[in-house]
A and B are shown apart, each in its own frame.
Chain A
């Protein structure tokens, strides 16, 4: 039996309009054979989590360049847990100071990819993380 394709939500929470990174990552994941759902701009944490659960996603990638990352990671991860969907992997990228990364990881983010990250690294990390997640299911 062939394994189900990896399904990822690429999300832009909040008011930030910088979508170059989100769209480049979405295309790279798609080219790597994953199923990608890009939410578009101005999503609330509720709508992102709702989409992820409905679509039975393996992971949510959050792109934030506005400095509001702490707020949105906390909200999204909290909502996932409260809806018994804490197994959905959360990762992210954008303009996020290095010093903030441990805090986001502490909240439950799997990885933060800063500017200059190769999309290949991103793809490999997701494959590995989803593989580990599925082996526990």
Chain B
């Protein structure tokens, strides 16, 4: 059934001025089986009246049958292919096969024939509507830009606080805290394993005292803050809540995100502490606690970012991230929580890589697939619990140490892809990150890149503007298909926890990383300035950020002084309460942890107790 046959001449005229599916499709409800394919043809039929006679055979402009158009298109495509084939002898293409960065084979040309199976209403729909392919909000960036959120933190809380204020003064709209490795792994700055690492990749936080300094002069009721913390997420969230209390901000008014995604730590990022089972309990305790007490908080950021950085393809990034997501949802359901409630506070975190169209398709595919999984597999009925809302960071692994200024351009392309993919917040990398932590100047350029996209590019004025591109829709379908194949495979293994134990996602990622490296070394993949277009540069002398080597010693001194000034008997009581709660699986750990941090129990002390009770995870080395 073709819609143009049933439309009046007036409405057809109206369509001419609005060659846009969003307008064609309000009629779709009348044709329950309206396929994407038919929609495409009706569009062509419509256009044929506007343009020269003879297009699409010109047979009865409003009464062409589907079969006839289909035939015309197939014949047109065939003739194009034949012409190209003839020409290739004289002018061959640069490669025999073209693939995306993620290895998806690319056709020379995409046409409506590639979308034959697609149904607009079922597969694409409208922004803000299931399956959210076109975005989670009805008006997207016409209503509000994404949150510009630069991940930052280094050295001491005081220095990081200064960087946050600089970013806020420059128009940043949310904070994102990077913690140093000892903090991420639950060690205080004076622990032997912390030697050499304090303050290096993020800020050192030992106790509430550091957290108070970190957010000094920043009203927690007005900013939203993302905390990149996983294994000890409960402790850092507790500290954030306690800082809020001290500022007079109720927990219910705090907004932000904790990463809290342990599965990708086992798979790709490496900052785990506890074994999977107690780790999953900590996560579901946070879900449960926040549902009642911190309702505006995103309780997890299920992260594909690090999976991609470790070398996965785009489809694997979607697959393993959503498979992790399903594992969390299942764990929380098993713990008695309602997915229609906690499902609304799940958020995601993806990478934005170089392959522009593949990345746009990836974000769209992820949104659609998550909505379908939540609805069909998890039985969720609340629309908000089906929406995949996500943060994006541009791909650190694509940044080159050679000709680092070129990275500004890479970041701009990646950032634009994430915007065209409908991101909710974005971190743009700084051009010097293959060399060191970013300097203030390079962070400034990265933030300005987002502002230029938002205010100058015009890309934000139309919702999901690349929808309907035959190429983008085809890639969206293919990424969803591949991702679902992986998810089904993981299901058959017994779920993501079993798959991780077997080293399955790790192996897949490593294989992809190695393939990519080989492709770069053979020259099949060009990296400008590295394996092609190399220029000799004067070495050194760059304005890089250096963390003061005395940070570790100073942090240890401050920690020691803090420990001597607090009530240590009370601290022991509170730590005993944490231990008792850890032993009892039916108790939520959050309230006792909050009690302990309020009195300045350190992160290392609390995690130390939990290490004793829960044990520690040992890596399953896959090579």
Contact = CB atoms under 8 A, between A and B. Distances in A.
Say if A and B assemble together. Answer: yes
Interface of A: 14-20, 23-24, 26-28, 38, 40-42, 44, 66-68, 70-72, 75, 95, 97-99, 114-116, 118-120
Main secondary structure of the interface of B (DSSP, over half): loop
Contacts of B182: 15
A19 B311 contact: no
A1 B547 CA distance: 52
A97 B432 CA distance: 10
Nearest to B432: A97
Nearest to A26: B623
10 contacts: A15-B187, A19-B270, A20-B397, A38-B623, A42-B193, A66-B181, A68-B200, A99-B540, A99-B542, A120-B521
A18 B200 CA distance: 14
Contact of A14 (B197, B265, B510): B197
Contact of A17 (B270, B401, B510): B270
Q: Which size bracket describes the interface of B in this complex?
A: 35 or more
Interface stretch (B135-143, B219-227, B326-334, B434-442): B434-442
Contacts, number: 106
A14 B400 contact: no
Interface string B222-263: 000000000000000000000000000000000000000000
A20 B513 CA distance: 7
B185 interface: yes
Nearest to A69: B196
Contacts of A97: 435-436, 542, 544
B621 interface: yes
Interface string B514-531: 100100010000010011
Nearest to B530: A116
Contact of A67 (B399, B436, B542, B623): B436
Contacts of B201: 16, 66-67
B26 interface: no
A99 B435 CA distance: 10
Nearest to A114: B401
Contacts of A118: 521, 531
Contacts of A75: 196
A21 to B, nearest CB: 9
A14 B521 CA distance: 29
B86 interface: no
A21 B403 CA distance: 20
A-B complex: 10 closest residue pairs judged by Cβ atoms: A17-B270, A71-B196, A15-B181, A67-B200, A68-B196, A116-B530, A115-B401, A40-B621, A115-B434, A97-B436
Given A67-B200, A97-B544, A116 B181 contact: no
B397 to A, nearest CB: 7
Nearest to A24: B517
Given A18-B270, A19-B270, A20-B397, A95 B436 contact: yes
A75 B341 CA distance: 51
Contacts of A41: 270, 619
A40 to B, nearest CB: 5
A67 B547 contact: yes
Interface in B488-541: 510, 513-514, 517, 521, 527, 530-531, 539-541
Interface in B422-469: 433-437
Contacts of B397: 20
A66 to B, nearest CB: 5
Q: Which of A14, A38, A67, A95 has the most CB of B within 10 A?
A: A67
Main secondary structure of the interface of A (DSSP, over half): loop
Contacts of A71: 195-197
B196 A98 contact: no
Contacts of A17: 265, 269-271
B621 A95 contact: no
A67 B544 CA distance: 12
A27 B623 contact: yes
Interface in B156-186: 181-182, 184-185
B309 interface: yes
A14 B201 CA distance: 13
B310 interface: yes
Contact of A40 (B187, B433, B544, B619): B619
A15 B232 CA distance: 15
A116 B197 contact: no
A6 B471 CA distance: 49
Interface in B549-592: none
Contacts of A20: 309-311, 397, 513
A97 B311 CA distance: 23
Contacts of A24: 311, 510, 513-514, 517
A14 to B, nearest CB: 6
B100 interface: no
Given A16-B270, A95-B436, A116-B434, 20 more contacts: A14-B196, A15-B271, A19-B270, A20-B513, A23-B514, A42-B193, A42-B270, A42-B619, A66-B181, A66-B201, A71-B197, A95-B433, A97-B435, A97-B436, A97-B542, A98-B435, A99-B541, A115-B400, A115-B401, A115-B434
Nearest to A25: B517
A100 B201 CA distance: 17
Contacts of A40: 619, 621
Contacts of B181: 14-16, 66
Nearest to A116: B530
Q: Which of B270, B527, B530, B541 has the most CB of A within 10 A?
A: B270
A98 B401 CA distance: 9
Contact of B185 (A15, A27, A115, A119): A15
Contacts of A66: 181, 197, 200-201
A24 B544 CA distance: 27
